[in-house]
Amino acid sequence: MQRSDDRAGRSRQRRAQDELQASQYARSLIEASLDPLVTISPDGKITDVNEATIRVTGVAREQLVGSDFSNYFTEPKKAREGYQQVFAKGSVTDYALTIRHGDGKLTDVLYNASVYKDGRGTVLGVFAAARDITAQKKAGEERSRLAAIVDSSADAIIGKTLNGVVTSWNKGAELMFGYAASEVIGKHISIVIPPQLRDEERSILERLSQGHSIQPYETTRVRRDGGLIDVSVTVSPVRDADGNIVGASKIARDITAQKQASQYARSLIEASLDPLVTISPDGKITDVNEATIRVTGVARDQLVGSDFSNYFTEPDKAREGYRQVFAQGSVTDYPLTIRHKDGELTDVLYNASVYKDVGGNVLGVFAAARDITDQKKAETELQKAHSELELRVQERTAELATANESLQGEIAERRRAEQVIRELSTPVLQVRDGMLILPIIGILDSQRARQLTEQLLRAIRDNRARVAVVDITGVPAVDSKIANHLLQTAEAARLMGATVVLTGLSPEVAQALVSIGVDLSRLTTVGDLQGGIADADRRLGYKVTREGETALGRRA
């Protein structure tokens, strides 16, 4: 009995020891688990926790044990339902809960729990193991975010195998090509490639599978409705975990609008009537518009790449021009003459400036020429019109000059006529050699008197007269001024060697002259013209006799 007791005691002891060892082993396994493990009593109190539970809740073991299990979740009610389910069903799997850490951090977990019983089958509590699925969940979120990005992209993003079979097809692709993802996935990509471009696709996939990188390129694709679209395509290899290329992802961007914009710009350039040209820094033509082709008569492909200066009458000046553009950034109104290949010349003014890439590097010169031939022609015509006008003005001036001359002639003629009339008004008559008679009739004013003097003195010289008889019988009145004038005339005549005999002073005139004190004593005066002539005859040595009288006289 003693021994058996001892044996029994020893076996009990060993069993206890074994149990202890087993329990320690189990404990260490539990502690070693990275998943939070917990045992819960039927009334919902925590009876044991492992280290992972302490970490995930941030609560010390002593506080955890005995506290309510549901306290540590964002949804305590759901947690309670969970372990009640375990008691009811015996176990739950992947029951989703969120643990709240003491500092507020949340941990998404999936609970797997089952009841544990004693040897007799009595339920002692619930053993619950939580699996932290935060990382997993995050990855899922990331994946769906990426998927959303891909889906929401306006660009078509297409996955395909190296054989060209479509594996993915985003919303952008659906919109761009008009095929739903379900329609194309599993089909060959060639349904969106125009027949003439299928080789291109093949060669790209080939190069890609050989590991070559593909530069983004522009090409044309066909829509479901048969319409063509311009796209810019970027193709990238898709690799598996080992780095093997297993497919291609293709991003296609619709550049129809962009192309249209570019086409629009191009058409603007082409539509310009001015010759436009771009020149590389080494002076070669890189692009031209239609107007340039017209003005040079050279085809576009021949122009492009040729030397810019070739097409001008003064190549050196042209070169100097684009050198200036590179040096100064621009030139304005640079005059040059373009020579058409047929020899026709066009005068132009060049306006040019450098054009740069986004980085500010000079790519070349953009030069626009303005045809000023018409302008020059207009100028020439203007000048012609001007000179014609001048010619006409000259002609007119000449006409006027002629008219003026003839007018002058007429005036002179008239003067002569007037002179004749004046002279006739005071006639100077020669009656004998050396004798002049001036019969004056009418009013003798100072102008007529002066004229009388001039005529008398000139006649004395011209006729070599020695005596002049001035008869004023016909003059109604003589004032002192006229009288003095007559005196002066007589003296002037004397200086010329001639004598003036004044005749015909009426009684009134004689008395008037005396009363105003004019001294005519220095003047030879005779009563009448007859007496005056007789006096003159005597002075000149003439002797006038009547034939009969003479004969009678002789006889007597």
Partner 1 sequence: MRVPILKQGPYLIASVQSALTDADLLQMRDDLARLVGQHRSHGVVVDVTALDVLDSFAARTLRTMAYAIRLRGAQMVIVGIQPEVAFAMVQLGLSLPGVDTALDLEEGLALLNRKTSEDHASEG
Find the shortest distance in angstroms from Cβ 496 to partner 1: 5
Residues from 424 through 453 that contact partner 1 (CB under 8 A): 453
Q: Does 393 bind partner 1 (CB under 8 A)?
A: no
Q: Does 339 bind partner 1 (CB under 8 A)?
A: no
Q: Does 376 bind partner 1 (CB under 8 A)?
A: no
Q: Does 457 bind partner 1 (CB under 8 A)?
A: yes
Strands 285-288 and 276-279: antiparallel
356 residue type, one letter: K
Find the shortest distance in angstroms from Cβ 464 to partner 1: 6
Q: Which is nearer to partner 1, 221 or 485 (CB)?
A: 485
- Looking at 44-188, list the stretches that DSSP marks H as alpha helix, in order from N- to C-terminal side: 51-57, 61-64, 76-89, 134-152, 171-177, 181-184
For 292, what's the count of Cα atoms within 13 Å in the CB-facing half-sphere?
Answer: 26
Q: How far is CA 344 from the centre of its chain?
A: 30
Find the shortest distance in angstroms from Cβ 551 to partner 1: 32
Measured between alpha carbons, how far apart are the two ends of the chain, in Å?
255
Q: Does 454 bind partner 1 (CB under 8 A)?
A: yes
Q: How far is CA 463 from the centre of its chain?
A: 95
Residues paired with residue 250 on neighbouring β-strands, in sequence order:
158, 235
Among 55, 323, 458, 481, binds partner 1 (CB under 8 A): 458
For the beta carbon of residue 145, count every other beta carbon within 10 angstroms. 10
Q: Does 383 bind partner 1 (CB under 8 A)?
A: no
Among 252, 428, 493, 518, binds partner 1 (CB under 8 A): 493
Among 241, 327, 424, 495, binds partner 1 (CB under 8 A): 495
Q: Does 15 bind partner 1 (CB under 8 A)?
A: no
Q: Does 499 bind partner 1 (CB under 8 A)?
A: no
Distance CA 125, CA 113 (A): 10
Q: Does 521 bind partner 1 (CB under 8 A)?
A: no
Find the shortest distance in angstroms from Cβ 435 to partner 1: 13
Q: Which stretch binds partner 1 (CB under 8 A): 13-21, 117-125, 439-447, 496-504?
A: 496-504
Q: Which is nearer to partner 1, 200 or 454 (CB)?
A: 454
Q: Select from 38, 118, 138, 124 the least CA-distant residue to 79.
A: 38
Among 239, 396, 415, 464, binds partner 1 (CB under 8 A): 464
DSSP H/E element including 454: helix 446-463
Total binding residues for partner 1 by CB under 8 A? 19
Q: Which stretch binds partner 1 (CB under 8 A): 70-78, 103-111, 227-235, 485-493?
A: 485-493
Q: Does 100 bind partner 1 (CB under 8 A)?
A: no
390, burial (CB in 10 Å: exposed 0-12, middle 13-18, buried 19+): exposed
Q: Does 496 bind partner 1 (CB under 8 A)?
A: yes
Q: Which stretch binds partner 1 (CB under 8 A): 28-36, 137-145, 252-260, 455-463?
A: 455-463
Residues from 151 through 210 that contact partner 1 (CB under 8 A): none
Distance CA 111, CA 109 (A): 6
Find the shortest distance in angstroms from Cβ 525 to partner 1: 18
CB 135 within 8 A of CB 57: no
Among 489, 500, 502, 523, binds partner 1 (CB under 8 A): 489
Among 461, 510, 514, 530, binds partner 1 (CB under 8 A): 461
Strand, coil or helix: what is 371?
Answer: strand
Find the shortest distance in angstroms from Cβ 540 to partner 1: 12
Find the shortest distance in angstroms from Cβ 478 to partner 1: 18
Alpha-carbon torsion angle 90, 95, 100, 105, nearest 10 = 150
Q: How far is CA 13 from the centre of its chain?
A: 107
Place of tokens 């819960």: 40
Find the shortest distance in angstroms from Cβ 492 to partner 1: 4
544 residue type, one letter: V
Q: Does 481 bind partner 1 (CB under 8 A)?
A: no
Find the shortest distance in angstroms from Cβ 486 to partner 1: 11
Token pair of 192, please?
Answer: 């969106």
DSSP H/E element including 232: strand 228-239
DSSP string, 461-492: HHHT-SEEEEEEEE-S---HHHHHHHHHHHHH
For the beta carbon of residue 238, count every other beta carbon within 10 angstroms. 17
Residues that bind partner 1 (CB under 8 A): 453-454, 457-458, 460-461, 464-466, 488-489, 491-498
